[in-house]
A = this chain, B = another copy of it.
Amino acid sequence: MAEFFNVLPPGEALELLLGRLPERPAVAVCVADTARALGRVLAVEIRATESLPSFPRATMDGYSVRASDTYGASDGLPAWFTLVGEVPMGRGPDMSLGVGEAAVAYTGGMLAGNADAVVMVEQTQAVDEHTIEVVRPVAPGQNVAQPGEDVRVGESVLPAGHVIRPQDIGGLLALGIERVKVAERPRVGILSMGDEVVHPGVTPGPGQVRDINTYTVAGQVAAAGGIPELLGLVSDDYEEQLVAARQGLAKSDMLVLSAGSSVSARDRTVDIVAELGEPGPLVHGLALRPGKPAILGLCDGKPVIGLPGNPVSAMVVSSLVVRPTVYRLMGCARPPSPSERAAVLAQDIPSAAGREDYVPVRLVNGENGTEEAHPVWGKSGFIFTLVRADGLVRVPADAGGIYAGETVQVREL
């Protein structure tokens, strides 16, 4: 492999990869209980199976009436109504209103037969046990939610590829949809490479470091709804790496390789991606700091991402590339935004134009209740730079930096 690859902006590189993947879920479809489907991705569009509300509902406590009987009512000339009973919650009416008749109505309950409006209790006065005065007219439909006003039968309510939120669970169950077709969670193989990397349970010898990237990426994959498959560690031996990567890819829907940090180690990773399947590497190098030495590939239909070895770069690339790819495998074209928070930048961030920068920042309560974003400077190999940070500030490629005092969005990893 001695091909020449252009360094691409991360967004463009991601589009290049995702553009080669099918729109529909790459993983199998399964059936999930709606009540337990939080965070799962819908495999099919959902249409309303009925209209809601299913009956005209009172939206106020008061009296259901025929609106025309209230016309002209005022404080000086109230309309008199005879009470003919109440419609209890959760039941249909057992009466029908004649002229000048009213029935007690509760918020969320049904109206009496013939009634077409509800008079708020605050706009009435009790005359005796069976009689009330109404001092304001109501229009037909007033204080009543009409059938289908929330959702109409047949209406599309959620598209395929949608990530299910708490309110979606509520909406689906309101329609009686107790089970939904969702994408299986994709299996994401994660392989850490490098002679210097040891398992976190091992006390490192001279020149050795504990594996970090397997676990940070696994956390990011799990947060996106994927199933991290920890493939373990391999040395810098090319054949060993290739065998492990091939086996890992075979049992996964996607493969993430955490490369060694030296230039030669990175070069070997791109060779591996080329050998794993067609077309192999699509992008080698991102216009991104940290995270330039990343590889995006597609091997016989499965995404393969090569991450830089250094832990900060690995997390940034994983956030920008692995995360949306996991969602796409589930058929989700527009992943939920990473959590963001607005803050006022406390120090200038200089940056080279032509490259997107992600700078770790710490949020500090400033004056007037504003939050300030303080850059956490540190060599990009230092994981505690990110542990000390509350998020990242993005410096766009066309900006030479961001000045202190500007409002920035601080995004989680």
Contacts and interface: CB of A to CB of B under 8 A. Distances in A.
A201 interface: yes
A174 B212 contact: yes
A316 to B, nearest CB: 11
Contact of A90 (B34, B89, B166, B208): B208
Nearest to A380: B59
A165 B222 CA distance: 11
Interface in A198-229: 198, 200-201, 203-213, 215-220, 222-223
A382 interface: yes
A174 B107 contact: no
Interface stretch (A133-141, A180-188, A338-346): A338-346
A7 interface: no
B204 A150 contact: no
A150 B195 contact: no
Nearest to A175: B210
A386 interface: yes
A32 to B, nearest CB: 13
Contacts of A52: 382-384
A336 interface: yes
Contacts of A222: 38
A307 B409 CA distance: 32
Contacts of A61: 262-264
A285 to B, nearest CB: 16
A256 to B, nearest CB: 13
A222 to B, nearest CB: 6
A119 interface: no
A336 B411 CA distance: 12
B206 A110 contact: yes
A53 B382 CA distance: 8
A212 B381 CA distance: 48
Interface string A291-324: 0000000000000000001110001000000000
A167 to B, nearest CB: 4
Contact of A171 (B87, B109, B178, B383): B383
A92 B211 contact: no
B90 A219 contact: no
Contacts of A339: 336-340
Contact of A196 (B90, B207, B220): B90
B176 A201 contact: yes
Given A90-B197, A107-B262, 11 more contacts: A35-B215, A53-B209, A55-B206, A87-B207, A149-B379, A165-B412, A166-B219, A167-B387, A170-B212, A174-B383, A176-B203
Interface of A: 34-35, 38, 52-55, 57, 59, 61, 87-92, 106-110, 145, 149-151, 157-158, 165-171, 173-176, 178, 194-198, 200-201, 203-213, 215-220, 222-223, 236, 260-265, 309-311, 315, 336-342, 378-379, 381-387, 389, 409, 412-413
21 contacts: A35-B215, A52-B382, A54-B204, A61-B262, A89-B260, A92-B205, A92-B206, A92-B207, A108-B381, A145-B379, A150-B381, A165-B219, A166-B215, A166-B218, A170-B213, A171-B387, A173-B200, A174-B200, A174-B209, A176-B210, A337-B341
